[in-house]
Amino acid sequence: MNIGPYVLANNLFVAPMAGVTDRPFRMLCKKLGAGYAVSEMVTSRRDLWDTLKTSRRASHDGEPEPIAVQIAGTDAAMMADAAAYNIDRGAQIIDINMGCPAKKVCNKWAGSALMQDETLALQIIEAVVAACAPRNVPVTLKMRTGWCQAHKNALSIALSAERAGVQMVTVHGRTREQGYKGFAEYDTIAEVKARLKIPVVANGDITSPEKARDVLAYTGADAVMLGRAAQGRPWIFREVAHFMATGMHLAPPLVADVAHLLLDHLLDHYALYGEFTGVRSARKHIGWYVKTLPGGEAFRAQMNLLDNSEAQLLSVSAFFENLAGQMDRIPVAAVVDSVLDSAVGAINDKDQHVQKNLEASLA
């Protein structure tokens, strides 16, 4: 799988998630089997580029290539400037955000709201491609299936984007109106894939190796992108990769390995955010890691009261040491539960079938 000149390690991608897929998390996912990761979005607003938040988001130190940065905004010239600004800071691929449901930029709705105005969407795409092409930086586009159920225009925008020079399109199988409710559908993604020559990535509600395989087969997409299912479970990529290669499930990870992963993740996290912000923003990650583990909920409540990194690290170590005294591996039930309940919402019939198979194969 290629994006422009960049050859990716595989076709399993981490979805950009603002507040989640920062550099430490992206690097962890890549280490654990993800072939590609896009950074959280950087606003096109020049006045915000020097803020700590934007500069943290634009940090790529030590990250394996290619470095991809997502930009969001509503003005073509500003988006072109944002692309150039990020290229100057190391971006090798620029991703345009037309997929995020709730982001105001310059008091206008950006992200998936742009799908309502195809003329503006295309102006933005053309301006960003014009800014990137002379520097040989591929432009990619992430979008939803459309604005609402009655206005599913992913195909029309994808075709225009391809003509304008975009080199990969990712489609999340929900409309903007849906937010994260309901289910992702894959028919629109299959239609986009059938009509485009550039690579197409399928995204939405992919929570297990079986689901990844099924979505790839159903849509014919070139890659799958996983978001919420990787929260607190970055090793899902190697599980999917192993299943795709062998048809067998990897054993759940050792408790001791998860403890090391999380402790290293926390150290990287504090290094990026500093003590005060780092301890607070790490809580959600720790909560996701322990969510489905025995005693995880009680631990999370108590850990959330800690306000320094030393105490946070010690409490995480103690929790996992105690767990390792009870079991070697993360319990199968926890793996299945996290698949069932990885903040992905309700499960449709097809998923239930997949979950039953998964439970059976892990039993």
Binding site for ligand FMN (CB under 6 A): 15-20, 40-41, 70, 97, 99-100, 142, 172, 203-206, 226-229, 344
Question: Amino acid identity, residue 232?
Answer: G
* 168-174-177 Cα angle (round to 5): 120
Q: Around Cβ 317, how many Cβ atoms within 10 Å?
A: 14
Nearer to ligand FMN, 16 or 287 (CB): 16
The CB-of-308 to ligand FMN minimum distance in angstroms stands at: 26
* CA 282 to chain centroid: 17
Question: Amino acid identity, residue 153?
Answer: N
| Cα–Cα distance, 28 to 31 (Å, whole number) | 5
> Could you say which DSSP state residue 199 is in?
-
Nearer to ligand FMN, 30 or 319 (CB): 30
Strands (E), 160-261: 168-175, 200-203, 223-226
Are the C-beta atoms of residues 233 and 33 closer than 8 Å to each other? Answer: no
Nearer to ligand FMN, 186 or 320 (CB): 186
Nearer to ligand FMN, 71 or 258 (CB): 71
The CB-of-239 to ligand FMN minimum distance in angstroms stands at: 15
The CB-of-41 to ligand FMN minimum distance in angstroms stands at: 4
Paired strand residues for 210: none
Nearer to ligand FMN, 191 or 205 (CB): 205
> Could you say which DSSP state residue 113 is in?
G
> Residue 155 corresponds to which tokens in the numbers above?
């195909």
The CB-of-118 to ligand FMN minimum distance in angstroms stands at: 18
The CB-of-138 to ligand FMN minimum distance in angstroms stands at: 17
- Residue 353: strand, helix, or coil: helix
| Cα–Cα distance, 192 to 159 (Å, whole number) | 8
Catalytic residue among 100, 106, 132, 148: 100
Nearer to ligand FMN, 233 or 300 (CB): 233
> Could you say which DSSP state residue 148 is in?
B
What are the two backbone dihedrals, phi and then psi, of residue 15, each rounded to the nearest 5 degrees? -75, 145
The CB-of-241 to ligand FMN minimum distance in angstroms stands at: 16
The CB-of-81 to ligand FMN minimum distance in angstroms stands at: 19
29 is catalytic: no
**Position with the least CB separation from ligand FMN:** 227
Strands (E), 78-133: 93-98, 104-105, 108-109
Nearer to ligand FMN, 115 or 229 (CB): 229
**What do you get for the CA distance between the two ends of the chain, in Å?**
34
| Cα–Cα distance, 309 to 294 (Å, whole number) | 23
| Cα–Cα distance, 99 to 89 (Å, whole number) | 24
| Cα–Cα distance, 78 to 275 (Å, whole number) | 34
Which residues form the catalytic set?
100
